[in-house]
Amino acid sequence: MIHLKDINKTYQGAQPLHVLKGIDLDIARGEFVSIMGSSGSGKSTLLNIIGILDNYDTGEYLLNGVPIVNLSETRAAEYRNRMIGFIFQSFNLIPFKTAVENVELPLFYQGVGRRQRHRLAMDYLDRLGLAQWAGHYPNEMSGGQKQRVAIARALITKPQIILADEPTGALDSKTSVEVMSLLKELNSTENMTILVVTHEAGVANETNKIVHSKDGLIGEIEENLDHHANRGFK
């Protein structure tokens, strides 16, 4: 589903920064994978390239067999809207919109009618145990509730891939466990391909495969079906 071959990325500046140095990575449909590495390891840049939010300099990226190269912004947005759901550390909710309005937003951009998008948004909030919070604004919700709203928003377009950048970074350990359990459930019940970027060993251990990233390179790729790589949240 995701095929990366010899991906290189350099940020130009007074001192050019070579952040990805020949990345090879294959992720099959239905896999639950984490990319783990410290700050500056290139993991977020890699996620942004997979999510078509950033370009790579050289190499090959195929998404569902389609080459992702030199796309116009319109075409890139089309792929993102159709195939990818994003979850961010900082939730990225719009503060002046209620929970249900935030969840509806991707459908608004797809031209779905008001009544239908409201019904679908309520369905997803209900599934995530947030129906009673539908009319609340982000500043009235806890971190865990905001992240569940963000997950509902990511799911509403029925994407093939969920990309989560440090999804537990702003959460306490108990809420982190809940969010990772939710992602695990989505992966097992809906066969959704989920890719999580994290620097936390405990978060990575909840996934079925751990890709270790260091200094712009892929190191060990660890099969983790028994979840024994690293125990507990740190």
What tens digit of pLDDT does each residue of 57-100 get? 999 999 999 999 989 999 998 889 889 999 988 889 999 999 99
Task: Please indicate, yes or no, whether the overall pTM of this predicted structure exceeds 0.95.
Answer: no
CATH number, domain at 135? 3.40.50.300
The answer to the question of residue 104 being in a domain is yes
Question: What confidence score (pLDDT) does residue 230 get?
Answer: 54
Domain count, the chain: 1
Q: pLDDT band at residue 225, thresholds of 50, 70 and 90?
A: confident
Q: How far apart are CA 136 and CA 100, in angstroms?
A: 8
Separation of first and last alpha carbons in the chain: 31
Q: pLDDT band at residue 228, thresholds of 50, 70 and 90?
A: low
The answer to the question of residue 125 being in a domain is yes
The answer for residues whose C-beta is within 8 angstroms of residue 199's C-beta and 6 or more apart is 36, 37, 38, 39, 43, 166
Q: Is 221 helix (H, G, I), strand (E, B) or coil?
A: strand
Q: How far apart are CA 69 and CA 104, in angstroms?
A: 30
Domain range for 95 is 29-56+73-223
The answer to the question of residue 140 being in a domain is yes
The answer to the question of residue 186 being in a domain is yes
| Mean pLDDT of the 216-224 span | 92
| Mean pLDDT of the 2-15 span | 94
The answer to the question of residue 84 being in a domain is yes
How many Cβ atoms from other residues are within 10 Å of residue 228's Cβ?
A: 8
The answer to the question of residue 19 being in a domain is no
How many Cβ atoms from other residues are within 10 Å of residue 12's Cβ?
A: 8
The answer to the question of residue 63 being in a domain is no
The answer to the question of residue 2 being in a domain is no
